[in-house]
Structure 1
Amino acid sequence: MKINKTITMMAALTLMAGSLAACGSNNNGNNTSSPEASSAAPSSSETSSAPASEEAAEDELAPEAGATLVVWETKEMIPRMEAIGKEFTDKFGIPVKVEEVGEADQINKLINDGPAGIGPDIVIYPHDNLGKAVAAGLILPNDYFEEETKADNSDAAITAFTFDGVLYGYPRSVETYAMFYNKDLVSTPAKSFDEIFEFAKTFNDTKNNKYTFLFEQNFYYQYSFLATPGGYVYGNGGVDKNDIGLNNDAAIKGAETYQKLKEIIPMKTADATFDIKKGLFTSGNLAYDVNGPWAIADYKKSGVNFGIAPLPSIDGKANVSFSGVKGFSVSAFSQYPNAAKQFVHFATSKEQQLKDFEELGTLPSNKEAAADPAVTADPLLVGILEQFSNSTPMPAIPEMGNVWTPAQSAMADIWDNNKDPKEALDNAVKQIQDANAATS
């Protein structure tokens, strides 16, 4: 499907917000950070004689004297974050240092580094980590800019970063993954995995590093194989930790489809990495790459002629991917919480989200940015938006943290060791249940 008219793309973006709105009350269920957490050990930021900004003072949120900030950022986003930091420093006179920590690892790392006084002032993470962060008292509520943040961003994004009725985050982007395809190798993208297997008969040449279809082997992507037939993580929209659907009959059937793919991808799960896929795709040795909007900018720079389509259907059913919201939070251990709040407000503005989109391909959570012609007229977004309409948001309850390792290990066992899908998934669910019980 090709959609070029702005009004149609606007409708698709609205649909995206509606899909994520299913988070609803799913993200609620724990207490806010304690006052004591706010005065805990300071960050490792070095002191500075930077003056407080007159603009911030007029806004009644004057940054602390001598404030400097440390932001944790994932590797591929660091150049962009450093540019935001420079703009912020030029405007407010507050130095910003960016340190590399993967988004998925930040909350776990903050659990130890925050109390030790070596953590950051600001973290950036996917919303499924919110429950764990709140339960551990790691982050501060978005209080000063709460109303403005709610007014500026989609309901879905606000819901995703709200826990127990309290807004903790400053949304940055919304996302899911879809199927990137090399237009020089594929004239019409496959609509089903049956078509993928058929195309592989003539295209695959794995001895010479030539592959039809690749995806990163972690549970964020593997989940689609279990969810499409009818599996799920937690029941009742992602909030019932006692109802785990990763080993129901539908999920087991999906795992069998996943296992069959090894016929055309004879590669260990540990070898199916982002960098491997990127190299194969940009060199013309990979026809289909499962990826997200974060890869668009690099692929454009590489010169590869590519398009984006929804994921292939499984047994006639539209493929169900994970979707999520990424955003900022201020660490409860920051020595400079006012300056940190000022920074995240600046970094998530309409202007900065549009720059994120232009340079990185991320989809804005800011409503005005999402409706900007620069976003709505981009044909590459069509496939992402179509896939988003079939996605399900990652659960954000604290128990989601108990899912990733057992589930990914089970899928690796199914793939690498040809383990019976039911046995592997039953084992994963048992591990998740035990972990949930231990933390109740």
Structure 2
Amino acid sequence: MKKILKMSSITMIILLLLVACSKPNSSDQSGTNTNDGNDTATPTDLKPEPGAELLFWTMKDPLVESAVKEFEEKYNIKVNVEEVQTWDTADRVKTDGPAGLAADVIGMVSDNLGATVDAGVVVPNDYFEKDTRENSSKVALDASSYKGVLYGYPRDVYTYSLYVNKDLVKDAKLETWDDIKAFAKKYNNVSKNQFGFMYDAKSWYFNSSFILGYDGYIFGKNGTDVNDIGINSAGAVKGMEFYHSLKEILPLKLQDISNDVRLHLWEQGKLAINMDATWNLGPNKKMPFEVEVLPLPEMSDGKTPVALVGSTGYYVTSYTKYPNASRLFANFLTSKEKLGELYESTGRIPALNGFENEEKYKNDQMLQGFLTQINNGAALPNVPEMSNYWKSLESATMEIWDNDAEVKKTLDNAAEDMKSGIKTSK
């Protein structure tokens, strides 16, 4: 009897082992790449769910429209595109998700990543992680990752620098900000709406470059330590003192320096130097005058502004009913082939590894100017507390620029406001 029981037990163990060996791994079921080095699965193994239909929130452009059409034809999956600004998708998915109205895939700017991860509304780029890391530039990968985990499928990188109307500036020396100030003072004619230099002076995305240039900082430890707020550090104070000095060549109230006004003056040939971002690179190639892009020049003490560099990418939301189809779609949109078309079709700088070395772009002065600026830039922090940074400094710009407030005291108040906001949000 004991012998029979022993043989039965051995038989049962063998059966259990056979069942375990025949069970599909997790990547077969969910598309999650659990490759441990022995798995031979490739991204082509991922199959979309039967009957999948996707909702896609993003800003529309020619490449998005053509890519959606190609994806639908290739996978027989309908994609409904709703135009939502990439800086608005994060807040919207957090509110629409619980109601069952969220998109499957969203386009999003990188500084919103931490907040969406902490809210649990986006999922990691797991299945296509290897491909994404091989194809994407380092700055884009850093911007699309949070706490060491890659979430995004990077599309483009963005920053800002100086667009120069060569017809107006001609051979003027523009090697330092002192040079720019000297040129602007001679060129300005406020009564005729003619300006040598202009930018969105109320925007802390642009103003951060002066703080960082003087060794100030937003958060410590490369933008990750939110308990170490640096906006009232000695470097930040010096940076904002420089900011205030620009008022002498841009003698307008902040409310009068709107983007619409600035871009209109630029297009009309009444603005000589326009500090603006890469997202307007495409339109600037079509201006009726010669445009040159110059990296941000030297301030005083040999210090140079450090522009913030961010990335726009695609993210799969945790609310999707079709995670495999969504992964396939986000990866398709950011494939090497598709991103190779991005610059030509939209003027956006693709998040492609090695893009800057392509021979056909060597003589593209505007692109090369921005690539130089990107290489000398700083990653835009993507911790959730960045929302407190933008909010707390809104009034500081007006106080310093419009009311000539004491810079140190104003920044001290902004720092305290940030600390309070961060504490309240926890």
Name the counterpart of 2:369.
383
* Letter matched to residue 372 of structure 1: E
Name the counterpart of 2:194.
210
CA distance in 1, matches of 2:317, 2:204: 27
Q: Is the 8 A contact 1:141 1:167 kept in 2?
A: yes
Shift in Å at residue 377 of structure 1? 4.0
For 1:163-242, list aligned pairs within 5 A. 163-188=146-171, 190-216=174-200, 217-242=202-227
Question: What 5-or-longer segments of structure 1 have no aligned partner?
Answer: 1-37, 39-56
CA distance in 1, matches of 2:355, 2:175: 31
For 1:364-375, list aligned pairs within 5 A. 364-367=350-353, 369-375=355-361
1:337 and 2:323 matched: yes
Name the counterpart of 2:403.
417
CA distance in 2, matches of 1:416, 1:95: 51
* Letter matched to residue 277 of structure 1: R
Name the counterpart of 1:10.
none
Name the counterpart of 2:337.
351
Could you state the TM-score of these two structures normalised by the residue count of structure 1? 0.81
* Letter matched to residue 176 of structure 2: S
Shift in Å at residue 203 of structure 1? 1.0
CA distance in 2, matches of 1:71, 1:273: 31
1:93 and 2:84 matched: no
Deviations 1:192-233, CA, capped at 9 Å, x for gaps: 221122112221112222111111231111111222122110
Give SS of 2:50's match.
coil
Name the counterpart of 1:127.
110
Shift in Å at residue 99 of structure 1? 2.3
Give SS of 1:430's match.
helix
Of 384-393 and 79-88, more deviation after overlay is shown by 79-88
Give SS of 1:318's match.
coil
CA distance in 1, matches of 2:68, 2:405: 48
Q: Is the 8 A contact 1:295 1:360 kept in 2?
A: no
CA 1:206–1:79: 2 relative to 1, 3 Å: farther
* Letter matched to residue 337 of structure 2: E
Deviations 1:62-98, CA, capped at 9 Å, x for gaps: 2233333222223xx5343223222222322223233
Q: Is the 8 A contact 2:308 2:380 kept in 1?
A: yes
1:105 and 2:91 matched: no
CA distance in 2, matches of 1:186, 1:122: 44
Selected match of 1:61 from 39, 43, 46: 46
CA distance in 1, matches of 2:284, 2:236: 33
Q: Is the 8 A contact 2:215 2:236 kept in 1?
A: yes
Name the counterpart of 1:406.
392
CA distance in 2, matches of 1:58, 1:365: 20
Q: Is the 8 A contact 1:357 1:375 kept in 2?
A: no
1:148 and 2:148 matched: no
CA 1:82–1:319: 2 relative to 1, 3 Å: same
Q: Percent identity?
A: 38
For 1:265-344, list aligned pairs within 5 A. 265-315=250-300, 316-344=302-330
Q: Is the 8 A contact 1:204 1:211 kept in 2?
A: yes
CA distance in 1, matches of 2:156, 2:363: 18
Q: Is the 8 A contact 1:127 1:396 kept in 2?
A: yes
Q: Is the 8 A contact 2:188 2:195 kept in 1?
A: yes
* Letter matched to residue 281 of structure 1: W
Give SS of 1:324's match.
strand
Shift in Å at residue 358 of structure 1? 0.9
Q: Is the 8 A contact 1:78 1:98 kept in 2?
A: no
Q: Is the 8 A contact 1:353 1:369 kept in 2?
A: no
Is the radius of gyration larger for structure 1 or structure 2? 2
CA distance in 1, matches of 2:343, 2:410: 39
RMSD: 2.2
Could you state the TM-score of these two structures normalised by the residue count of structure 2? 0.84
Name the counterpart of 2:416.
430
Selected match of 1:84 from 63, 67, 75: 67
CA 1:390–1:350: 2 relative to 1, 3 Å: same
Name the counterpart of 2:379.
393
CA distance in 2, matches of 1:230, 1:58: 43
Shift in Å at residue 368 of structure 1? 5.0
Q: Is the 8 A contact 2:212 2:236 kept in 1?
A: yes
Give SS of 2:126's match.
coil
* Letter matched to residue 179 of structure 2: E
Name the counterpart of 1:42.
none
Name the counterpart of 1:136.
119
Selected match of 1:256 from 237, 241, 254: 241
Give SS of 2:61's match.
helix
CA distance in 2, matches of 1:67, 1:406: 43
Q: Is the 8 A contact 1:318 1:390 kept in 2?
A: no
Shift in Å at residue 343 of structure 1? 1.2
CA distance in 2, matches of 1:376, 1:117: 48
CA distance in 2, matches of 1:95, 1:275: 37
Question: What 5-or-longer segments of structure 2 have no aligned partner?
Answer: 1-29, 31-41
